[in-house]
Structure 1
Amino acid sequence: MTSSSQAHAFARSDRSAIGVWWWTVDRWMLGVIAMLIFTGVLMSFAASPAAATRMNLGDPFHFAVRQCVFAGASAFILITMSMLEVKGVRRAAFFIWLAAIAIMIALPFIGHSAKGATRWLQFGGFTFQPSEYMKPALIILVAWMFAEGQKGKGVPGVSIAFALYLVSVGLLLIQPDVGQTVLITVAFGAAFWMAGVPISWVMGLGTAAIAGLGSTYFLFDHVQSRVDRFFSPDKADTHQVDAAAVAQAAGGLFGRGPGEGVMKRHVPDLHTDFAASVGAEEFGLVFLLVVISLFAFVVIRGLQRAMKLSDPFEQVAAAGLFVLVGQQAIINLAVNLNMIPTKGMTLPFISYGGSSMLAMGLTLGLALALTRRRPGAYKHTEGLAQAGQFT
């Protein structure tokens, strides 16, 4: 393709689906997400040899190759989802939630168990975690129901939203997966608050959520064990957290260098839950700060754009999705820094894992679709009639 034809393909006057998408999507956000995906691939090459050796796999880059495939698929999902119109976002969320819930119902009978939980469906050497895809779909459906309820047309939106939330949480606790339950509870609460529900209701939900979270300490042995290890490290095995702390300290400001980290050879989950510590050891504190800055950019810019949207559904749904991404990043980084009890939760786009990578592509793709610049979509652009007029 010649340079002139390339220029024509991306001209503002191009009214093709790709052309309209290019000029209406948040390209800064796309660039930062691409940097996060690239960082995740880079980290997989750093951690894969040690993980493959520990698991007696013949190919030292087994995990790196798979992560490259997941990254490509995630980018495809993200772009495809971000091209949807608002009606398409709602439809996609409805069918994704239904499919995920159906699989979660079947997990106790056909699911793959690991570490005392049954959260995955295993087939062909791959594991699929349906709850990862249920989360963004739930947030969109909840926002939709809140918006419908506000219209005053007899739709019990709040009641339906709570029913969707309770079904999702109930199935998560059966697995059990307390971490994901906390994630969607906070995101649901944020959507609840942004939808303009009376503050007394929000406080009531918050109180119930805190009481429910506290009860998990007595209901689930693995939660009790992790909390006890956090508050009494001298009385329990804290090998992974200690190794992560040593790795971060050894990395210093600029790290040991690519491939020179040693902690990843001794800790089973350093390429998944503790990928940030691998990066800190090999690339230093600067790497960790850059990663945190990239996530901060995605969440803050996303929330700013969401708050400027004129439609209540789009506003609440987009904000809820960005809150979801921010929460997951904060929880993973807090575990790596030993600020909260350990939780098997990946760092979006950075940690190794197919379900997490693909689900993050889905989540941010839907968020980008909702925050695209359309005529009348933003409060300060009501008078613009053509999508190509937006910058």
Structure 2
Amino acid sequence: MKIKNYISGDTFLWALVIILLVFSFLPVYSASANLAYIGQGTGNTTKYLVKHFGHIIIGLGLLYAVHKIPYRYFRGLSVLLIPVVVILLIYTAMQGTVMGGASASRWMTVPVIGMKFQTSTFAFVVLMAYVAKYLASIKDKEVTFKQSLLPLWLPVGIILVLIVPFNLSTAVLIFTMVLLTCFVGGYPIKYLMSIIGIGFIAMTLFVLTAKAFPGVFPNRVDTWVSRIETFGGEGDADTNYQVERAKTAIANGYPFGVGPGKSVTKHVLPQSSSDFIFAIILEEFGLIGGLTILALYLFFLFRLIIISTKAGTVFGQLLVIGVGFPIIFQALTNMAVAVNLIPVTGQTLPLISSGGTSILMTCMSIGIVLSVSAKRDEEKVQEKTKDEEMNPLDVLSEAI
């Protein structure tokens, strides 16, 4: 029985996904010790491993289901889901969640099952599919900036406005990926520059408003400023503490690490199983382990480029870029934060960090990419069958 008979799409991409998911058990199980002892914790790390396993199984099930859907259907689905996404973001914003004194309305609780769900991550995937659909529809057409405002930039603007106050890093990542997809899709550069200018002005007005009315978004802007100051050597004690503990973990790793499960820093590093999991990987598996993980993500990027290049339609190409490339950008961001190359952002390491929403939405994005790849494989099979059915003279005629 061959597994290949039951799955479709790029085999290398499937292999990378499985390798990263299987590897994730080691650092997540080890780093979850931090959570197990917080507050009234009993020190039981097994439940976190079981929880992570459950997320992976659901994620793989979602990936498998999505990759069986012909990718052309995502055109219509993206349009239908944009209003749903807006409603979910508004509902999430109305939760009024505050963490550490700062506004952090990022999650909603799914009814019945009680699982927390980060709506901005789902909005990211839907929006990128929508942007790819729009750009494909105007390919080789002359479109003015005014004509694109309503169908393209209005949905983008609304979604960003609903995300920025509570999750700046995700909003910046979304905005960057929209610009990149538009650039690749042939959208005029002069219009993109106008959008960047509008975005800068809008962000400035938001910061000034938040400063003038601090009760609306408690300490949100102060948190951003603190993280930037920490990166510059200043900042508040909590953010400094995270960065310093991450540096300690990395320093302990040396070339080959202290060994799986033997991290000492995991007990004192906040978010060690999610935002700072790469620091734990470097401590337990060393520089060699860290570079291996980086290489896997870069190979992942290489496969995305191959799939996008071979896609049979403009929509397919842009869809792979729109939903696939953010996975790599997020991974590189997480690694850069862990080694203190950029300020703390709160982005997880895709397919490795713990967290249900991160795993599910990453798997859904990969499922979409594999759907594009599967269509190309199907076309190749059809072409091969056609060639086999044709006699030599027909083949020569086709070649001419």
TM-score by length of 1: 0.85
Looking at structure 1, the residues matched to 279 and 287 of structure 2 have their Cα atoms a distance apart, in angstroms, of 10
2:29 pairs with 1:39: no
Amino acid at match of 1:279: I
RMSD, aligned α-carbons: 2.9
Q: CA deviation at 1:89?
A: 2.6
Deviates more, 1:102-111 or 1:71-80: 102-111
Amino acid at match of 1:101: V
Q: Give the corresponding residue for 1:202.
A: 192
Looking at structure 1, the residues matched to 158 and 340 of structure 2 have their Cα atoms a distance apart, in angstroms, of 32
Deviates more, 1:104-113 or 1:300-309: 104-113
Q: Give the corresponding residue for 1:167.
A: 158
Q: Give the corresponding residue for 1:14.
A: none
Q: Give the corresponding residue for 1:231.
A: 232
Looking at structure 2, the residues matched to 48 and 232 of structure 1 have their Cα atoms a distance apart, in angstroms, of 29
Distance 1:259 1:98, change over 3 A: same
Q: CA deviation at 1:152?
A: 5.0
Q: CA deviation at 1:135?
A: 0.7
Amino acid at match of 2:344: T
Q: Give the corresponding residue for 1:103.
A: 88
Amino acid at match of 1:102: I
Q: Give the corresponding residue for 1:240.
A: 242
| Mapping 1:188-337, distance limit 5 Å | 188-209=178-199, 219=210, 220-233=221-234, 236-237=237-238, 238-337=240-339
Deviates more, 1:85-94 or 1:192-201: 85-94
Q: CA deviation at 1:210?
A: 5.4
Amino acid at match of 1:146: L
Residue deviations 1:185-226 (CA, integer Å, cap 9, x gap) = 111001111111222223333444456667776652211111
Looking at structure 2, the residues matched to 113 and 386 of structure 1 have their Cα atoms a distance apart, in angstroms, of 60
CA contact (8 A) 1:276 1:336 kept: yes
Distance 1:179 1:77, change over 3 A: same
Distance 1:83 1:41, change over 3 A: same
Q: Name the % identity.
A: 23
Q: Give the corresponding residue for 1:148.
A: 137
Q: CA deviation at 1:235?
A: 7.0
Q: Give the corresponding residue for 2:383.
A: 384
CA contact (8 A) 2:266 2:280 kept: yes
CA contact (8 A) 2:69 2:371 kept: yes
SS at match of 1:372: helix
Distance 1:256 1:160, change over 3 A: same
Residues matched between the structures, number: 369
Residue deviations 1:110-151 (CA, integer Å, cap 9, x gap) = 464434211111355531111111111111111101111236
2:79 pairs with 1:80: no
CA contact (8 A) 2:255 2:287 kept: yes
Distance 1:234 1:77, change over 3 A: closer
Q: Give the corresponding residue for 1:28.
A: 12
Residue deviations 1:313-340 (CA, integer Å, cap 9, x gap) = 1111111222211111111111101011
Distance 1:236 1:132, change over 3 A: same
2:347 pairs with 1:341: no
Q: Give the corresponding residue for 1:3.
A: none
Distance 1:29 1:216, change over 3 A: farther
Residue deviations 1:36-68 (CA, integer Å, cap 9, x gap) = 111222221111223211243332222211111
Q: Which runs of 5+ in 1 are unaligned?
A: 1-5, 12-17
Looking at structure 2, the residues matched to 109 and 168 of structure 1 have their Cα atoms a distance apart, in angstroms, of 15
SS at match of 1:233: coil
Q: CA deviation at 1:103?
A: 1.3
Amino acid at match of 1:38: V
Looking at structure 2, the residues matched to 41 and 388 of structure 1 have their Cα atoms a distance apart, in angstroms, of 46
CA contact (8 A) 1:112 1:121 kept: no
Q: Pick one of 108, 111, 128 that aligns with 1:139.
A: 128
Amino acid at match of 1:229: T
Q: CA deviation at 1:284?
A: 1.1
Q: Give the corresponding residue for 1:49.
A: 33
Distance 1:370 1:363, change over 3 A: same
CA contact (8 A) 1:142 1:161 kept: yes
SS at match of 2:37: helix
SS at match of 1:29: helix
Looking at structure 2, the residues matched to 107 and 66 of structure 1 have their Cα atoms a distance apart, in angstroms, of 24
CA contact (8 A) 2:30 2:261 kept: yes
Looking at structure 2, the residues matched to 375 and 34 of structure 1 have their Cα atoms a distance apart, in angstroms, of 21
SS at match of 1:86: coil
CA contact (8 A) 1:142 1:164 kept: no
CA contact (8 A) 2:132 2:315 kept: yes
